Structure 1
Amino acid sequence: MQESQQRNENQMLDRPRIQDDVDFFGEENPPISTDHSRPTGPQPGGGRRWITIIALVLLVIVLAGLAFALLRPRSPQATYQSQTVVKGDLNITASATGPIQGTLYNADFVATGKISEIDVSVGQHVTAGQTLAKLDASTLPGNTPGANATLTAPHAGTVTAVNGTVGASSGVGTTGTHFIVIVDTSSLSIVANVNEVDIAKVAVGNAVTFTVGGYSTQQFQGTVHAIAPQGQTVTNVVPCPVTVNVDMNSLQGANLLPGMTANVTINTQSRTSVLLIPVSAVNFAQSAQTQGLISQSQVATALTQAHQQLATLQSTGVNSGTNTNPNPVTNDNPNPAFVATSSNGQLAAVPVVLGLSNGSMYEVLSGLSEGQTIATSTSNGG
């Protein structure tokens, strides 16, 4: 029993010896080091590799961004249409139409009797004192002078109407109708109906130009002679009749006849040799402000300066040229405003004082000089 137990203990103690680590672990399982003096964390070289990788990634991103910024299509720089401030004449006008009229002369018998003869016809030219018609003396009332039986022309001209016949009574006719009407075409006039909006600008003595259909390429001259004290209501509009005397020397052989329609332009105000800018420049500057192309602070500064310029003008009465108004700054309601100038695609507000306008051009009283360039629209016409 003891021998058997001794033999088993000897077998357990007599284990095979492990000569080296390879025999135990094999080639794919190296031994675990028991040397605690060596570090077990990441080696120093591995940390630097990660920093380098991250830096390279960031560099690639930055370079890609720069390439995109440099290569992408760029919006073109804003460009603006411009116009130069010029000197010129400015006319303010009022338009109207009306018939051409001659000076009318009416011829009527002063006595009642039977018409015995009519010596003229419509369209016939007569001279002053020429016999027009006669009455039968035997039909005249008693005590009527015989001279009253003969009707003569009160003025030279052309017969335009004969309202009677031989054998009829000189006293018979429509009330208000004259027996013979003569028009003097050596002196013509026009009665033009001017719109109530424009009539306040019209004055006696204003120069007038007009055309007629039969002479559309020829322009005739005249002068405002009278303005009716009361307008005439026509389909809810109240035109005011204005009488224009025709300058007969301007006809140059044209045969203008009473009844022809004249297209009249009345020159109500004029300026000569003044600074002019287009209305579109003022409108564009206001539009640029609305769109934020000109800052509000710039506009406010420009308007303040424009009011200061106006105050100076009002104290001196100075204007930019000669004109028909002795004190245009006082009487023509000058307007402080601003226009725009362009530099390198940027707009800037410039103060101005505006005078008269004919709807397409403004008179400039202050703020700009001849030859200066101002913006009038964007390059695409906006």
Structure 2
Amino acid sequence: MRSVIRGRALLVNSALAVLLAGGVGFAYVSLGDDEATASATTRTTTVMRGDLTTSVAASGSVESATKRALTFAGSGTVTRIHVKVGATVKKGQKLAELDRTEAQEQLDAARAELAVAADGDTSTAQGYASYVQAKNAVSAAQRALDGTVLYAPFAGTVTAVNGDVGDAASGSSGASGSAGSSGSSASSGSSGSSGSSSSGFIELADPAKVQVTGSFTESDATKLKVGQAATVTFAALPGVTAQGKVAAIDSTPTTENNVVTFAVTIVLDAKPAQVRIGQTAAATVTVSKADDALYVPNAAVMSAGGQSTVTVLENGRPVVKSVTVGIVGSSGTEITSGLSEGEQVRITVATGTSGTGSGAQTQRGGFGGGGMVPGGGGRGTGGGR
């Protein structure tokens, strides 16, 4: 009886061993098939001719291109403030005043001393020097009196009032005047009231002239130059765009989280009616352009060892050709030599991972189409013909 049971057990174990071996073999074959099929797909496109551009982009905010922090040229106690935040003012309009009593007294005294000096003997060197000194004192006192009134140097909107009636305001010795319509002067500086040491007593901006300051990466900033054309879009206003130019590039970078950026100011040619100061904007700057260029989609160009190649179909067979490339956009690469217009180019795109790939070659860009379309991320555009 035991021998019969042992025989049956041996038979069952043998059958299980065969099934297990078959399963392992099937799994091995299946895995092998996956390795073989997870390679790439190919398609063809035509070498075309058209205009090609390369651009860089950064985000920022809309701000006034004309803004001033205004301070009194004279000193005294604030007696009147004629405007509030948000007020629209005209050039030369009176904004605020100081107590003029002390400044007027100093002017009267200076004029009296000038009269005495003028009646004296100005034919001598000492007498003439006293006269000139008294005359200069009158001019200084007059400027101090004029400086007790703050005028708008240009038409704009009041963005801040950094003080109240009764505050003591001290003038900025380095402030420069800007004539208003009444003939008096308006000055600007970095301080002007006891309530604010880092801004003017009144801050004024022209909302009609706006700019966008964006932070460009150091690699992108090296491609920028003053005067380059830019296109600006606005996050809150889909479909609204504005044209502008690069006006300034900071020479000192900013480093945050180990990322180096440079601030670039772009002045808009005209402000769209819907745009407001403070809105988020994105600026795309055209850094290079090739007119009537020969180009292929980025994915058609392979790079290895400093050499660029393109696979061309000749008589239905793929032939690898060395090419010289020009500017590279997000969806197109200029070919300056090595190809002719109309040639059929093969594009190979990976469809999965393969354990046997060496990764020795890299493609430029992503899966390119036959024609040029606006590139995403503000990196480049092209138009085929």
Task: Tell whether the structures are fold-level matches, with TM greater than 0.5.
Answer: yes
CA distance in 2, matches of 1:380, 1:169: 73
TM-score of the pair, normalised by structure 1: 0.61
Contact 2:312 2:343 (C-alpha < 8 Å) held by counterparts = no
Shift of 1:266: 0.8
Q: 2:44 matched to 1:82?
A: yes
What is the match of residue 243 of structure 1? 265
Q: CA RMSD in A?
A: 2.9
Taking structure 1 as reference, are residues 372 and 87 closer, same or farther at Cα in structure 2, changes over 3 Å only? same
Partner of 1:256: 275
Matched, 1:165 2:127: no
Structure 2 match to 1:341: 312
**Does the alignment pair 1:113 with 2:96?**
no
Q: Do the aligned residues in 1 keep the contact of 2:163 with 2:196 (CA within 8 Å)?
A: no
C-alpha separation between the residues in 2 aligned to 1:240 and 1:131?
39
Deviation at 1:281, TM superposition (A): 1.5
Pair 1:94–1:79, CA change in 2 (3 A): closer
Tell me if the contact between 2:226 and 2:249 (Cα under 8 Å) persists in the aligned partners.
yes
d(CA) in 2 for partners of 1:190, 1:99:
6
Compared CA separation, residues 79 and 230, structure 1 to 2 (3 A)? closer
Match of 1:278 in 2: 297
Shift of 1:348: 1.9
Question: d(CA) in 2 for partners of 1:198 and 1:274?
Answer: 23
Unaligned residue ranges in structure 2 (runs of 5+)? 1-39, 107-140, 171-193, 354-385
* Matching residue's letter, 2:310: V
How many residue pairs get matched? 256
Higher fraction of strand: 2
Structure 1 residues 149 and 354: alpha-carbon distance in aligned structure 2, compared to 1, 3 A threshold: closer
CA contact under 8 A between 1:342 and 1:374: conserved in structure 2?
yes
**For each residue in 1:142-188, what CA deviation from the matched residue of structure 2 results, as whole angstroms up to 9, or x when unmatched?**
51544333221111111100011112222422312210011012222
Give the superposition deviation at 1:343: 5.8
Give the drift of 1:210. Answer: 1.0
Secondary structure (helix, strand or coil) at the match of 2:218 reads: coil
Sequence identity of aligned pairs in percent? 33
> Structure 1: how far apart are the matches of 2:266 and 2:101?
47
Structure whose CA Rg is larger: 1
Distance 2:242 2:252 in 1: 27
1:79/1:345 contact within 8 Å kept: no
- Contact kept? 1:114, 1:139, Cα under 8 Å: no
Query: How many Å apart are 1:370 and its aligned residue?
Result: 1.4
Match of 1:211 in 2: 233
Q: Using the alignment, how far apart are the partners of 2:341 and 2:203 within structure 1?
A: 59
One-letter amino acid of the counterpart of residue 269, structure 2: D
Task: Measure, in 2, the Cα distance between the counterparts of 1:346 and 1:371.
Answer: 16
Task: Work out which structure has the larger RCO, using CA pairs closer than 8 Å and 6 or more positions apart in sequence.
Answer: 2
User: Shift of the alpha carbon at 1:373?
Assistant: 0.8
Q: 1:232 to 1:87 in 2, by over 3 A?
A: same
SS of equivalent residue, structure 1 residue 185: coil
Aligned 1:370-381 pairs, distance under 5 A: 370-377=341-348
Q: CA deviation at 1:227?
A: 1.3
Q: Which residue of 2 aligns with 1:150?
A: 149
How far 1:359 moved relative to its partner? 3.5
Structure 2 counterpart of 1:359, from 330, 337, 342:
330
**SS, match of residue 181 in structure 1:** strand
| Per-residue deviation, residues 127-151 of structure 1 (Å, max 9, x unmatched) | 1110111122236585154433322
Contact 1:85/1:369, CA 8 A, preserved across alignment: yes
